[in-house]
């Protein structure tokens, strides 16, 4: 089936927000005497905050009565940090114009809450490009489950087989592939070398590396 739809992940793909999620998460976990290694943190990127907290509270045997409070702390800290300090990823304007010029339908599928989607789309001035968005915050399952991508495709009224997704995390890549969508990964520089990106259809260093030739290879 020909591709006619593009769905973007948000954090780490459109905006350099991952460092601020990491700060917010580690600051909150520190209240429970938890310190994650860089490898531990990377292993759970792409998860919903609720599941991120549940994972590490389980791993470190923390009383889950504190989970709701910890989740709220992370989300509020992250939104404030991202609103005030995060910057757009290289090539965002280019890639949105690339797909608009080719009459692609454009969607957004993220594990982040709706409140952050509003902050980011306004900050990046991309709201007019996006026809629909899907937040895993409102769904039973989050990445690596494909539900957020399937939900976005349903809202856009398109087949998953006609979609190409852009992701930066292992969990997001698995979600997109499980949804039977084409997946292009844009890993962070320090993660470019990881072997598991071979599960994606294509890997690029930035949006500027995506062009008509790559699109034709995905078709």
Residues acting as catalytic residues: 9, 11
If 0-12 CB within 10 Å is exposed, 13-18 middle and 19+ buried, where does residue 52 land?
Answer: buried
Helix, strand and coil content of the chain, in percent to the nearest 5, comes to: 55, 15, 35
The residue whose two tokens read 């976005």 is 152
Cα–Cα distance, 40 to 182 (Å, whole number): 28
Which distant-in-sequence residues (6+ apart) come within 8 Å of 175 by Cβ?
46, 143, 144, 145, 146, 148, 149, 167
CB 49 within 8 A of CB 76: no
Q: Are 206 and 91 in contact (CB under 8 A)?
A: yes
| CA 137/CA 140 separation, integer angstroms | 8
């Amino acid at each position: 089936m020909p591709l006619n739809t593009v769905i973007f992940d948000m954090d780490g793909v459109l905006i350099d927000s991952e460092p601020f999620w990491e700060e917010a998460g580690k600051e909150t976990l520190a209240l429970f005497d938890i310190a994650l290694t860089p490898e531990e943190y990377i292993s759970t990127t792409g998860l919903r905050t609720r599941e991120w907290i549940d994972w590490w509270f389980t791993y470190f045997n923390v009383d889950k009565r504190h989970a709701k409070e910890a989740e709220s702390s992370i989300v509020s800290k992250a939104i404030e940090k991202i609103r005030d300090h995060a910057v757009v990823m290289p090539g965002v304007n280019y890639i949105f114009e690339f797909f608009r010029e080719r009459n692609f339908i454009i969607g957004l599928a993220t594990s982040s809450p709706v409140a952050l989607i509003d902050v980011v789309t306004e900050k990046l001035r991309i709201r007019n490009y996006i026809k629909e968005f899907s937040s895993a915050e409102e769904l039973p399952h989050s990445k690596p489950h494909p539900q957020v991508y399937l939900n976005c495709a349903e809202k856009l009224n398109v087949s998953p087989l006609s979609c190409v997704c852009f992701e930066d995390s292992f969990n997001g890549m698995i979600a997109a592939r499980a949804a039977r969508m084409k997946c292009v990964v844009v890993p962070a520089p320090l993660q470019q070398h990881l072997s598991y990106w071979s599960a994606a259809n294509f890997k690029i260093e930035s949006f500027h590396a995506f062009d008509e030739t790559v699109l034709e290879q995905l078709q």
